[in-house]
Structure 1
Amino acid sequence: MSIGTAEALQRLFSQWKREVLANVTSDEQRTELQKQLSLREEELLASASDGSTVSLFSDLMGLGKDGAPSFDSISRPLLVQDFDESVIETQLHATAELYYIYQHERMKVFQVAGVLLRLFHDGRMRIQRGPGARALYLMEKHQPLRYKPRDRQLAYRRAFNYGNLAAPPGAVMFRNFHREFVAFVSAIAQYFRDLLIGEVIRGSQQLNERPFASQATIQRLGTDIRWQIDRATYGNILALTVEVGEYLKTILDAMETPDIKKAFDANTKWDVIEVVSQRYLGGAGEISQRSKMADAGRLLLNFVADNPFKTRDFRDFQTEVMPLGPVAEEWIAAYRMTPDGRSFRGVSPTLRQTLGITSPAPAMR
């Protein structure tokens, strides 16, 4: 399609769209019809630019058989924005599971498993024929064959820039993960809070009323996190997550067996982790906070993996984000109780700092 024809088509379609929308009285019908017309316009322009009127660079220079054509007769290339879809979602989902594993690493779950195996071998834990003894035997058989603690630490370093282990030379790392993830969670929490404030002011909970909140910050941060995670999680991250995740499940199932809980006078597997950490590992590792951060963080990262953040309609976006508001608040509440989160200044200051918004200067007196 030539440039002149494309411009005429867009002009006529826009005029026809205005005439159609002018005859619609309902706001809901007008919004839905406008969305459908916009999609139809994109499809029409895409089908018209299918390459039936190809213009070579030589034609543009006037070296073709017809000489130098006018600009209106040269076809316009259709440029498609596909950045949001250029990621491998499998790697993003694997990163969500890796984050879940990392938080259990911080809870000392893997170290506790090592202590239990050592006590079992040395005969210092009075279990023998129960399900716990068999679970410890199976746990030892199911230890990761390829990915040891150092491999886990390297994976955390590459994907999240967590830990002190130096990354291999030349490896791509997501160096700014924590700052961007905290800002992303804060943006969802801010959206949720603004939505609640808007409902209180208007006295309504209807989703078809525009909230006093912006979705642009969530979309911008989510898109960047998707891209950065995709860059940093190539290689063995997926296989490591599957193998270590299976091992983690084996550990947690073993700690839930009645004879192991009885050996430590515990009621749950979390009590086992706490007691063993206190006795043999120099203290427990923020079990309550890290367990909530693991669950909420995995949900948020899976949302990032599944959402290309292309939605422009605020109703659709609000429907997608609404269930994540309490999840973001839970993550922030747990994060602020950890030593790492004590410097968290709050949702609004964190967003302002991340987005580079400086506070206004104080008024002169």
Structure 2
Amino acid sequence: MRRKERDMNFQTTETIQRLWETFLNEQLASLPPEQRDAAATQFEQRFGELMAKNGADGDGGFFDLIGLGPNGGAGFDAIGYPHVQPDFDDSVVPSQLHAAAELYFIYQHERMKVFQVVDVLLRLFRLGKMRIQRGPGARGLYLLQKWQPLRYSVRDRMVAYRRAFNYGTAQAPAGAVVNRNFHRQLVGFMVALGQYFRDLLIGEVIRGGQLIDQRPFGSVATVQRIGLDLRYALDRSTYGNIFALAMEAGHYLKSVLQLLDAPDIKKAFDANTKWDVIEIVSNRYLGGVAEPSQRAKMAESGRRILQFVADNDFRTAIDPILFQSVVRPMGAHAEAWLAAYRMTPEGRGFPGVTPALRGVLGVPQPASV
């Protein structure tokens, strides 16, 4: 009886594989065009379920094949189909990816000199060079000076940025994994999203025209492929203290931003907002301001994009219409990030969406005429 079940198991699998395409074409041909995309996605999911169901269970098929099963050696036609469930793209730690998103937000504020500004205020408060006494800002500076709540030093943070994003010049610890391709993959993901939505717009306007051949890169597969690579690389480089550091530094950043908005501190620098305080202190004591407008937008949109990457499984067989709906809010964040990135020192050489995407995908640039 068991031998017969295995025969049917293998024969059923072979039949499904051989006749599936014919069955799919016949079924889709009988449906209205507007229903075919959704039906094709459902058929693809059903095909995967059938393949998994008809695969060999456990190690029995392998032992039968090599002659160690209860029935001795068995031929190929009596062995269950060796269906292996793909799970590489799911083997990530979500908490690490969310911590990486927060760490990126913290990094951009580090580049805005927020942490340095707070250190300057603490020094001025201690030396009596800032005219505040008993207000909320003075009390906040006193508590920061007394308790020193941020235990991760600037060196610790710089090492974390180097490990997770390959940003900065800090020396990575020996043996630690450094995410050397992060920035390239992040820019690639942003430009893939931007190109995807630009292609949708172009396709709606000139659908069927000759210019449609000039948009080969704006596809769901491109966004998914770069997103998966980005997620995998972040997962393998953000182990250790990255989660704890991101949580502690994130809470500290939130507290100091509230502190910089205290009325007595703003009055001491004749400022209207906390961002004015950061700009004035940076110009006066830190050698100049560091693109606060661009960094703030990159922090906001970059964190949101990385959160999306962390939470999306990028299923290959997803319905394109569903994917378009899910990813649409990210298109605005990608465009905002790119617009801000172009105005930073490292982004002023940005070659544009299409050339950058060609570079990420390894496609040769067209020869100049």
Tell me the TM-score normalised to structure 2 length: 0.89
Structure-1 separation of matches of 2:182 and 2:272: 37
Is 1:340–2:346 an aligned residue pair?
yes
Quote how far apart the aligned CAs of 1:27 are. Answer: 2.7
The equivalences for 1:1-365 within 5 A come to: 1=6, 2-11=9-18, 17-24=24-31, 26-49=32-55, 51=57, 54-57=60-63, 59-62=64-67, 66=71, 68-141=73-146, 143-201=148-206, 213-312=218-317, 313-361=319-367
Structure-2 separation of matches of 1:52 and 1:115: 64
Structure-1 separation of matches of 2:169 and 2:366: 38
Quote how far apart the aligned CAs of 1:202 are. Answer: 5.2
Alpha-carbon distance change, 346 to 212 in structure 1, aligned in 2, over 3 angstroms: closer
Range with bigger deviation, 13-22 or 158-167: 13-22
Structure-1 separation of matches of 2:66 and 2:285: 78
Q: Secondary structure at the match of 1:267?
A: coil
Quote how far apart the aligned CAs of 1:361 are. Answer: 3.7
Structure-1 separation of matches of 2:184 and 2:68: 54
Alpha-carbon distance change, 9 to 326 in structure 1, aligned in 2, over 3 angstroms: closer
CA deviation map 1:91-131 (0-9, x unaligned):
01100100000000000000000011111111111111111
Structure-1 separation of matches of 2:18 and 2:225: 31
Which of the two has greater helix per residue?
2
Tell me the TM-score normalised to structure 1 length: 0.90
Q: Secondary structure at the match of 2:89?
A: coil
Q: Size of the alignment, in residue pairs?
A: 354
Structure-2 separation of matches of 1:280 and 1:255: 16
Any gaps of 5 or more consecutive residues in structure 1? 204-210
Range with bigger deviation, 26-35 or 170-179: 26-35
Q: Retained in 2: the 8 A contact 1:158–1:167?
A: yes
Percent identical: 60
Structure-1 separation of matches of 2:217 and 2:65: 49
Quote how far apart the aligned CAs of 1:61 are. Answer: 4.0
Quote how far apart the aligned CAs of 1:191 are. Answer: 1.1
Alpha-carbon distance change, 134 to 52 in structure 1, aligned in 2, over 3 angstroms: closer
Alpha-carbon distance change, 142 to 250 in structure 1, aligned in 2, over 3 angstroms: farther
Q: Retained in 2: the 8 A contact 1:92–1:226?
A: yes
Any gaps of 5 or more consecutive residues in structure 2? 1-5, 209-215
Alpha-carbon distance change, 164 to 194 in structure 1, aligned in 2, over 3 angstroms: same
Quote how far apart the aligned CAs of 1:132 are. Answer: 1.3
Cα root mean square deviation, aligned: 2.4
Q: Structure 1 counterpart of 2:48, which letter?
A: E
Query: What residue is the counterpart of 1:208 in the other structure?
Result: none
Q: Secondary structure at the match of 1:351?
A: helix
Range with bigger deviation, 298-307 or 1-10: 1-10
Q: Retained in 2: the 8 A contact 1:139–1:250?
A: no
Quote how far apart the aligned CAs of 1:54 are. Answer: 2.7
Range with bigger deviation, 246-255 or 311-320: 311-320
Structure-1 separation of matches of 2:151 and 2:160: 13
CA deviation map 1:54-102 (0-9, x unaligned):
3234x32456565543321111122111011001111011001000000
